Amino acid sequence: MKIGPYTLTSRFLLAPMAGVTDAPFRRLCREFGAGLTTSEMTTADISLWQTEKSRRRLDIDGDLEPRAVQIAGSEPEQMALAARLCVERGAQIVDINMGCPAKKVCRKLAGSALMQDEALVQKILAAVVAAVDIPVTLKMRTGWDPDHRNGPEIAKIAEGEGIQALAVHGRTRACRYKGDAEYETIARIKNSLSIPVIANGDITTLEKSLEVLRLTEADALMVGRGAQGRPWFFRELIHFHETGKKIAPLELEKVRDIMLGHLNGLYRFYGETTGVRVARKHLSWYCAELTDSASFRSKVVRVDSASEQLTLTRDYFARQRERASLAA
Ligand X SMILES: Cc1cc2nc3c(=O)[nH]c(=O)nc-3n(C[C@H](O)[C@H](O)[C@H](O)COP(=O)(O)O)c2cc1C
Is 100 a catalytic site residue?
yes
Q: Would residue 5 be called left, alpha or beta, if left means φ above 0 and alpha means ψ between -120 and 50 degrees?
A: alpha
Minimum separation from the CB atom of position 305 to ligand X (A): 26
> Tell me, what amino acid is at 215?
L
Sheet-wide strand order for 68-72: 12-14, 220-223, 197-200, 165-172, 136-143, 93-98, 68-72, 42-43
Closest to ligand X by CB, 178 or 245: 178
Q: Considering the rule CB under 6 A, would residue 203 count as an interface residue with ligand X?
A: yes
Minimum separation from the CB atom of position 77 to ligand X (A): 21
**x/- track of binding to ligand X for residues 253-282 (CB under 6 A):** ------------------------------
Of residues 41 through 60, those in contact with ligand X by CB under 6 A are 41
Q: Considering the rule CB under 6 A, would residue 179 count as an interface residue with ligand X?
A: no
Q: Considering the rule CB under 6 A, would residue 10 count as an interface residue with ligand X?
A: no
**x/- track of binding to ligand X for residues 226-255 (CB under 6 A):** x-----------------------------
When CB distances to ligand X are compared, the closest residue is: 224
Measured between alpha carbons, how far is 20 from 278 in angstroms, rounded to an integer?
9
Minimum separation from the CB atom of position 179 to ligand X (A): 12
3-state secondary structure of 158: helix
DSSP code per residue over 226-255 = GGTT-TTHHHHHHHHHHHSSPPPPPPHHHH
Nearest to 168 by CA among 233, 251, 99, 230: 99
Measured between alpha carbons, how far is 14 from 142 in angstroms, rounded to an integer?
19
Which residue from 125, 223, 237, 266 is in contact with ligand X, where contact means CB under 6 A? 223
Cβ atoms of 120 and 74 within 8 Å: the answer is yes
Q: Considering the rule CB under 6 A, would residue 94 count as an interface residue with ligand X?
A: no
Residues that bind ligand X (CB under 6 A): 15-20, 40-41, 70, 97, 99-100, 139, 169, 200-203, 223-226
Catalytic center residues: 100
